[in-house]
A and B are shown apart, each in its own frame.
Chain A
Amino acid sequence: MKRSLSVALALVVLSVFVCASSVFPVSEAFKKNIYDPGVLKPTDSVLKVKVGDLAPDFALPSLSGEGISLSQYRGKNNVVLSFVPAAWTPVCSDQWPGYNIVEDIFKKYDAILLGITVDNLPTLHAWTNQMGKLWFPVLSDFWPHGAVADKYGVLRSDGTAERALFVIDKKGIIRFIKVNDINQRPKLEELVKAIEGLGE
Chain B
Amino acid sequence: MNMIARRMFIVLSVAAFWAVLLVSPVSANAAPLQPGGPLPDFKLPIPEHSADKEYLGLTTSGAFTIAQIKAQVVIIEILSMYCPYCQREAPEVNRLYEIIENNADLKSKIKLVGIGAGNTPFEVQVFKGKYSVPFPVFSDEDFTLHKAFGEVRTPFFIGVRINDDGSHRVFYAKLGGIEGAESFVKLMLRLSGLEQEKKP
Q: Which of A7-29 contact B (CB under 8 A)?
A: 7-9, 11-12, 15, 19, 23-29
One of A92-100, A109-117, A137-145, A159-167 at the interface:
A92-100
Tell me whether B21 is interfacial, beta carbon within 8 Å.
yes
Q: Is the CB of A101 within 8 A of B126?
A: yes
Assembled-state Cα–Cα distance A102/B130 (Å): 8
Point out the residue from A3, A19, A27, A95 that lies within 8 Å of B85, measured CB to CB: A27
Tell me whether A187 is interfacial, beta carbon within 8 Å.
yes
Assembled-state Cα–Cα distance A12/B19 (Å): 12
Tally of B interface residues using CB under 8 Å = 38
Complex interface bits, A166-200 against B, C-beta within 8 A gives 1, otherwise 0: 00000000000000000001011100100000000
Closest-by-CB residue of B relative to A11 is: B14
Q: Is the CB of B130 within 8 A of A25?
A: no
Tally of A interface residues using CB under 8 Å = 33
Q: Is the CB of B175 within 8 A of A15?
A: no
Q: Which of B144-158 contact A (CB under 8 A)?
A: 146-147, 151-155
Tell me whether B31 is interfacial, beta carbon within 8 Å.
no
Q: Is the CB of A95 within 8 A of B10?
A: no
Tell me whether A131 is interfacial, beta carbon within 8 Å.
yes
Assembled-state Cα–Cα distance A124/B78 (Å): 28
Q: Which of B75-109 contact A (CB under 8 A)?
A: 78, 80-88
A-B contact pairs, 10 of them (CB 8 A): A4-B6, A8-B9, A12-B13, A15-B17, A25-B151, A27-B153, A101-B126, A102-B130, A188-B81, A189-B122
